[in-house]
Amino acid sequence: MYTAAPGQGGLRAPLPELKGSYTPQQIDLGRLLFFDPVLSGDGKSSCAHCHHPDLAYADGRTTGMGASGEGVGPARRQGDVLPRNTPGLWNVGFLGRLFWDGRATSLEEQSVGPLFAANEMASTPDHVRQALAMNPEYRRLFAQAFQRSANQPIALEEVTTALSAFETSLVSLNSRFDRYAHGDDRALSDSEVRGWNVFRGFVGRCTQCHVPPLFQSDDLAAIGAPPVPGQPYDQGAGVLPPADPALNGAFKVPTLRNIALTAPYFQAGQFAQLADVVDFTMRRADTPSRPARRPAALAHPHATGRTAARMWRTCCPSSALSPIPRWRRRSRPRCPPGCPSFQGSTHERRNAMKPVKWHACWRGFGALLLALGNACALAAGPARVEDSAADAVYDCPLPPPEQFEARVTQLSTSTWDKNSLGCAADLMSVAADNAQSDIELQVQALLASTAYIAHVNLLWDFDLYGIRVPEWTARIQHAIEHGNVLDQRLAAVPVEDPDLMSARALYRLTWPTKVADAKTIMIETRAAQVLLEKAVAKEPKALGGNALWILGRIFFDLPEFAGGDGVKAMKLLEQAHAQTPGNLSMLRYSAYVHAQDRNPALARTRLTEMLSVDPDPADLQTAADELKNARDLATRLPDAALAQKLTDRRDALLQAQPQLLARKPTAANMHGGVDPITGKEY
């Protein structure tokens, strides 16, 4: 099960903290030690004999070869054959687990393993200290690196610290993929982009374990790797104390950076070719109990998914050693005092407020539906985490009572302005606080907070390397404070109103997406599922017809062990179609599900129905976005004629409504329009 820390996964993962803090002198000393065989028991093997830079700091062998070996890399001979493959060392400074079984938690702890293992470097602490002490240059370098007298003896801790310092300098973050992620849409070929879409999407789900931007994680995964003929079964992390049967056969998730240089693959080198690895992992995804989740009907890009995935994975090698990054993940602060600026006598005017019309908060609902979907994007930006929490503060003056409704409506229509949407949610919350007996107003306010959180979630998706995580976190935490109050208030209402329950469900689906762990997200999703089931049982058209199809989406997206049911999802989507045939979001998602279910004919039917829908004036941006998504799906079915019709329909809408964002696909902003991070237009 995926157990990554909150904030990781998919495209929203920032870099983990770089372990340790070392001086340039310690790094240089570690580099010398790494390539010097003086540390080994026989004086013939260095770290680089098994971790060679030309091989991405691996050795190119099926399994490693240790003590008494001669030669480097695949040509190494006559040594002790080790039971496991030699892992590469790129980006090990970011890891919290080391070795295939994850038994070491620091580079210092890891370094003494091979150094003193009898079948690897076969050295001893005394030998290391004596061999280094005999070299005057080493005595001088150790004294310089650790700021002490050269007459003091060399300590073993200094040796492991120096080796660790060098290994933390092995940073690979300047590949063609990184250039693509930062806005160079020509860095990858079309085939590699298709492979990336498979890799990160529903088909491959590779990013669940190989988390960007490092494309690895500290998770231990048991994926059923084939046994090695003639060798005993390797229990991996399952034998580490305290023994855990659930970890039998579990190994640490390896990096995919520079993967073209690190064959053979898996913990015992079971696969010689990258194509074999892709075929194995894709077959593991084809479980008999869930064949509908394999989208073979999508000829572009999924029909060639394995080929595309292989082509993407080979685009990651870095040509040079990058500088040591000084990125540090900031703590996630709450919204600072004064955010928003509801102060002084403005509170006294709340009694005069009028209820806001129901549709006022739905103008921002397009962003919510996008955030609940597969809307992922790549953002250009500096390679560092900015201390951006202060940017979460915005001015939000309370308007006079007679202007309140018009002001909220104006703010809510600013779909891509984070401060406007935040202010609209705040104003609605203030109104709800003042009129707690008005249940409809409470529901409207909760929907406004939900739409704002969904919009910030989407901005966070654009922030590929977590550059502005403090700002996104502060904004969401501020909105959650309002949302939790409203949710608790509505939970106490004795009447089971369908729209009320649906609004609470959407809030539970939205708030934890970026700021909660996997367990909390699952709990909230299941709670939302229960609420939506009750809501649609009372009124199938609850929440403007959105409740029914979103419930179907939950059943389709949840894994089976958590209550997912593809058959039930299909039935719910058909019911939603019967109830609200003009719901563009429902039609587009229904087409997607039918395509996944190997029913391209019905998928085409649903997409064709979108052509005749006349969108509500309050949902024009959602209509434009869904027509774009529908066009992309039609292209992948493939159906060029239908894709052109959807394009023409969307172009006509954009021409008639010039205020809408076009969202043209680019590398830095997959939705086009205005990049929400940089403000640059595409």
Question: Looking at the DSSP assignment, which residues form a beta bridge with residue 674?
Answer: 681
pLDDT mean for each 10 residues of the chain (682 residues)? 34 69 92 93 92 92 92 89 94 93 93 94 94 93 94 95 94 83 79 83 80 88 86 89 86 91 92 87 52 29 36 37 26 31 27 29 27 26 52 87 87 76 91 91 93 86 71 92 94 90 94 88 91 92 88 86 83 91 91 86 93 85 87 87 93 84 45 41 41
Which DSSP category does 467 fall into? T
Burial of 21 from C-beta contacts in 10 A (0-12 / 13-18 / 19+): exposed
What is the predicted pLDDT for the residue at 368? 25
Cα distance between residue 389 and residue 384, in whole Å: 14
Burial of 5 from C-beta contacts in 10 A (0-12 / 13-18 / 19+): middle
Beta-carbon contacts of 535 under 8 Å, excluding residues fewer than 6 positions away, are 498, 499, 501, 502, 505, 542, 543, 547
Instruction: Name the maximum alpha-carbon separation found in the chain.
Output: 88
Q: Strand, coil or helix: what is 681?
A: strand
Length of the chain: 682
What is the predicted pLDDT for the residue at 450? 94
Q: What is the dihedral of CA 466, 470, 471, 475, to 10 degrees?
A: 120
What is the predicted pLDDT for the residue at 405? 87
What is the predicted pLDDT for the residue at 138? 94
Of 179, 189, 235, residue with least CA distance to 378: 179
Cα distance between residue 399 and residue 23, in whole Å: 56
Containing H/E element for 412? helix 404-412
- DSSP characters over 60-86: -SSS-B-TT-BSSGGG-BSSPBPSS--
Question: Looking at the DSSP assignment, which residues form a beta bridge with residue 98?
Answer: 104
* CB-based contact 383:325 (threshold 8 Å): yes
Which long-range contacts link 177-183 to residues 24+ away (Cβ below 8 Å)? 177/312, 177/315, 177/316, 178/213, 180/378, 180/667, 181/213, 181/378, 181/464, 181/465, 181/667, 182/378, 182/380, 182/381, 182/383, 182/464, 182/668, 183/378, 183/380, 183/666, 183/667, 183/668
What is the predicted pLDDT for the residue at 415? 61
What is the predicted pLDDT for the residue at 202? 67
Task: Kindly tell me the sign of the dihedral angle through the C-alpha atoms of 248, 254, 260, 261.
Answer: negative
Q: Strand, coil or helix: what is 252?
A: strand
Cα distance between residue 597 and residue 574, in whole Å: 14
Phi, psi angles (nearest 5°) of residue 69:
-75, 155
* CB-based contact 637:651 (threshold 8 Å): no
Within a 10 A sphere around the Cβ of 437, how many other Cβ atoms?
6
